[in-house]
């Protein structure tokens, strides 16, 4: 989807996006349905970075006001007062003479960024060391899922062009990005899924629209992409990628949660209380609606569990719903389990609850280290004796007896502006975390996947 807007209108609209306006690199190519990466016949970008200085560059980092450092909000470089310098890369700035960089650097250098977790190691997972380059100027959401062979990363966001022509730039979709017609802005909403088998990121799917709850999971040889319709109402809210084909199953109704049991059984939470069931071929609406408003679901072969915003847990067994209380009045926001008698639930105020088959007990409380700030638990995932849990600004692990926090900036006024979206893995020493940076320079600075090897966290 491409919108051509006047400059003032586009800037106002862009600044309403969750992370603020980012006026940066344009993203070429269609935004329609599923596209394979362009072949060499589609374009022939120069294999070497452009020489510097390069005039007209505008890809600055943004401060708390949403404006580039040293600039007025929403004002392009040509309208800035003389003598103002505009950052145009990690080691570059434009002071009116074009983008000039320190010796040995270009404006396309990846952002210098370390995982915001205790115990950060060098870049790399297997032979993959290059950071993910999703081609997004503004990242709305990220998500990660993996198995023993591959890791999949989803990035939902926007690309905004101010009309500058950039003849050289490749992202991990294999797209060379160029600008729009002078005087126009192009705002692209899109969701991209990338695959990494340990040797680098490649494009798996390129979809219309973008939304904050965007997520993914997999079943057999298929990838499920789900979430909300987004601001532009163009995102597919439940779709399946099989081979080189993408099929959209639902639109315009948010799918809040999806849980996979087997290649012939999966469930999706549609809206607030509808349940979709996957039989290996198609998604069908379950005849029994969830009795309360639900936020997330989990299932095994025996039963499905839905957690409610009224603090209740609802179980579906043999097509009959039962409702139970966990003893907390806070809304429930996340659920994960080993079985129906070994369940973990997260609350809106950061409490981690466990059901052992007979009763519910609070095991840990996430929040600030030296203050009372609490945030909703977004995701829970576990393996072996470890249960990982995250809010948007805290990553922690329960080992059976105590909670270890690897990163927490919910109470810091100067802490990292990064947002943790989810955690997933295959073993206690093979865990992946998706992170979106709040003040990173495109193209490689907005979304990151971090690997935990049992000792250190590695960006790749």
Q: What is the per-residue pLDDT across 337-346, written as a single tens digit (0 to 9) for each?
A: 999 999 999 9
Using the predicted structure, report yes or no on whether residue 267 has a pLDDT greater than 90: yes
How many Å apart are CA 416 and CA 389, to the nearest integer?
Answer: 19
Within a domain: residue 99? no
Give residue-wise pLDDT tens across range 306-318.
999 999 999 999 9
Within a domain: residue 159? yes
Within a domain: residue 164? yes
Within a domain: residue 338? yes
Q: What is the largest CA-CA distance in the chain?
A: 72
Residue 408: per-residue pLDDT: 87
Residue 6: per-residue pLDDT: 36
CATH number at residue 410: 2.130.10.10
How many Å apart are CA 368 and CA 99, to the nearest integer?
Answer: 41
The residue with greater pLDDT, 370 or 191, is 191
Partners of 248 in the beta sheet?
A: 239
In the chain, the number of structural domains is 1
Within a domain: residue 184? yes
Within a domain: residue 145? yes
What band does 26 get if pLDDT is binned at 50, 70 and 90?
A: very low
Query: Which range of residues forms the domain containing residue 400?
Result: 138-459
Give residue-wise pLDDT tens across range 375-392.
999 999 999 889 999 999
What band does 130 get if pLDDT is binned at 50, 70 and 90?
A: confident
Residue 445: per-residue pLDDT: 66
- Taking the CA of residue 381 as centre, how many other CA atoms within 13 Å lie in the half-sphere pointing to its CB? 22
DSSP string, 16-59: TSTT----B----S--SS--PPP-TTT----SSPPPS-BTT---
Provide, rounded to the nearest whole percent, the portion of the chain with pLDDT above 90. Answer: 50
Helix, strand, or coil here: 150?
coil
Sequence-separated (6 or more) residues with CB below 8 Å from residue 271: 253, 254, 256
Closest CA to 270 of 227, 222, 232: 227
Per-range mean pLDDT, top range of 32-36, 188-192, 239-243: 239-243
Within a domain: residue 401? yes
How many Å apart are CA 121 and CA 127, to the nearest integer?
Answer: 15
Residue 134: per-residue pLDDT: 87
What band does 103 get if pLDDT is binned at 50, 70 and 90?
A: confident
Within a domain: residue 7? no
Lookup: tokens for 314? 């609802």
Closest CA to 309 of 238, 357, 256, 388: 256
Give residue-wise pLDDT tens across range 30-71.
333 333 333 333 333 333 333 322 222 223 332 223 333 333
């Amino acid at each position: 989807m491409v919108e051509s807007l006047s400059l003032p209108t586009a800037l106002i609209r862009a600044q309403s996006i969750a992370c603020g306006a980012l006026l940066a690199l344009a993203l070429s190519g269609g935004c329609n349905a599923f596209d394979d990466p362009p072949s060499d016949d589609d374009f022939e970008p120069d294999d070497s970075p452009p020489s510097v200085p390069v005039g007209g560059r505008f890809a600055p980092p943004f401060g708390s006001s949403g404006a580039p450092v040293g600039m007025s909000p929403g004002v392009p470089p040509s309208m800035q007062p003389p003598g103002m310098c505009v950052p145009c890369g990690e080691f570059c700035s434009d002071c009116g003479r074009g983008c000039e960089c320190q010796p040995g650097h270009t404006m396309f250098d990846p952002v210098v960024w370390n995982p915001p977790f205790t115990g950060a190691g060098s870049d790399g997972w297997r032979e993959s060391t290059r950071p993910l380059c999703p081609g997004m100027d503004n990242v709305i959401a990220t998500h990660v899922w993996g198995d023993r062979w591959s890791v999949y990363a989803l990035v939902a966001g926007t690309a905004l062009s101010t009309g500058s022509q950039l003849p050289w730039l490749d992202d991990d979709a294999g797209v060379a990005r160029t600008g729009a017609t002078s005087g126009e802005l192009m705002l692209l909403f899109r969701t991209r899924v990338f695959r990494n088998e340990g040797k680098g990121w490649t494009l798996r799917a390129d979809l219309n629209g973008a939304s904050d709850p965007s997520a993914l999971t997999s079943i057999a040889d298929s990838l499920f992409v789900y979430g909300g319709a987004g601001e532009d109402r163009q995102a597919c809210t439940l779709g399946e990628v099989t081979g080189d084909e993408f099929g959209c199953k639902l639109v315009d109704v948010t799918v809040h949660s999806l849980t996979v049991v087997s290649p012939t059984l999966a469930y999706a939470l549609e809206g607030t209380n509808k349940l979709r069931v996957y039989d290996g071929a198609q998604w069908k609406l379950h005849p029994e609606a969830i009795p309360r408003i639900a936020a997330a679901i989990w299932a095994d072969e025996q039963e499905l569990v839905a957690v409610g915003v009224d603090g209740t847990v609802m179980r579906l067994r043999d097509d009959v719903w039962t409702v139970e209380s966990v003893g907390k009045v806070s809304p429930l926001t996340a659920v994960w389990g080993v079985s129906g008698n070994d369940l973990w639930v997260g609350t809106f105020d950061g409490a981690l609850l466990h059901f052992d088959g007979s009763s519910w007990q609070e095991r840990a409380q996430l929040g600030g280290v030296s203050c009372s700030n609490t945030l909703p638990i977004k995701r829970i995932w576990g393996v072996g004796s470890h249960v990982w849990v995250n809010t948007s600004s805290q990553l922690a692990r329960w080992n059976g007896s105590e909670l270890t926090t690897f990163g927490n900036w919910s109470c810091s006024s100067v802490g990292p502006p990064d947002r943790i979206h989810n955690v997933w893995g295959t073993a206690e020493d093979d865990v992946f975390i998706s992170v979106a940076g709040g003040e990173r320079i495109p193209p490689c600075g907005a979304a990151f996947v971090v690997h935990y090897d049992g000792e250190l966290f590695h960006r790749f």
